[in-house]
A = this chain, B = another copy of it.
Amino acid sequence: MLNEDSIAGPELPQLLMAAIGAQDGNHIASLLQPLTHSEALREILNLKEEDRVAAIALMPVELAAMLIEEAPSEIGAELVGSLAPKQGADVLEELNSEVQADVVGEMDTAQAEAFLSQMDAEEASDVRRLIEYDDDCAGGLMSADAFTFPQDATVGTVLRKLASDDTDFERYRGQHPYVLDAQGIPIGVLSLRGLLTAKRVQKLSDIMVAPITIQVETQLSALEDIFDAHSFLGMPVVEADGKLAGVLSRTSVAEAVAERAEHESLRRQGVFGDELRSMPLRIRSKRRLAWLSANIVLNIIAASVISAYEETLTAVIAIAIFLPMVSDMSGCSGNQAVGVTMRELSLGLVRPVDAMRVWLKEVSVGVINGAVLGVLIGLVAWAWKGNAWLGLVIGLALALNTVLAVSIGGVVPLILKRLGQDPAAASGPLLTTITDMAGFFLVLSLATLFMPFLL
Contact = CB atoms under 8 A, between A and B. Distances in A.
B322 A266 contact: no
A212 B250 CA distance: 23
Contacts of A229: 2, 36-37
B333 A320 contact: no
Contact of A257 (B222, B258, B265, B329): B258
A325 B340 contact: no
A349 to B, nearest CB: 5
Interface in A243-281: 250-251, 254-255, 257-258, 261-262, 264-266, 268-271, 274-277, 281
B325 A377 contact: no
A262 B39 CA distance: 24
Interface stretch (A57-65, A82-90, A101-109, A287-295): A287-295
A225 interface: yes
A269 B338 contact: yes
Given A285-B368, A373-B296, A212 B2 contact: yes
Contacts of A318: 310
A38 B4 contact: no
B276 A349 contact: yes
Q: Is the interface of A mostly helix, strand, loop or mixed?
A: helix
Interface residues of A, number: 123
B303 A321 contact: yes
A46 B45 CA distance: 48
A275 B358 CA distance: 13
Given A339-B271, A361-B277, A372 B325 contact: no
A296 B374 CA distance: 11
A151 interface: no
A162 interface: yes
B436 A324 contact: yes
Nearest to A242: B1
Interface string A23-35: 0000000000000
B365 A328 contact: no
B327 A324 contact: yes
B262 A343 contact: yes
Interface string A216-254: 001000101110110101000000000000000011001
A376 B293 contact: yes
A329 B222 contact: no
Given A266-B343, A296-B376, A339-B271, A313 B320 contact: yes
A445 interface: no
A187 interface: no
Contacts of A215: 1
A336 interface: yes
Interface of A: 1-2, 4-5, 36-39, 41-42, 45-46, 70, 72, 159, 162-165, 169-170, 173-174, 192-193, 196-197, 212-215, 218, 222, 224-226, 228-229, 231, 233, 250-251, 254-255, 257-258, 261-262, 264-266, 268-271, 274-277, 281, 284-285, 288-289, 291-293, 295-296, 299-300, 302-303, 306-307, 310, 313-314, 317-318, 320-325, 327-329, 332-333, 335-336, 338-340, 342-344, 346-351, 354, 357-358, 361-362, 364-365, 368-369, 372-373, 376-377, 380, 384, 432, 436, 440
21 contacts: A4-B218, A41-B348, A42-B348, A45-B349, A46-B357, A192-B192, A233-B233, A255-B257, A255-B258, A269-B338, A271-B339, A271-B340, A271-B343, A281-B365, A292-B369, A296-B377, A296-B380, A300-B325, A300-B380, A302-B325, A324-B327
Given A170-B231, A266-B343, A292-B329, 12 more contacts: A1-B215, A37-B229, A38-B225, A38-B347, A39-B225, A42-B351, A159-B196, A269-B338, A276-B343, A303-B321, A324-B440, A328-B436
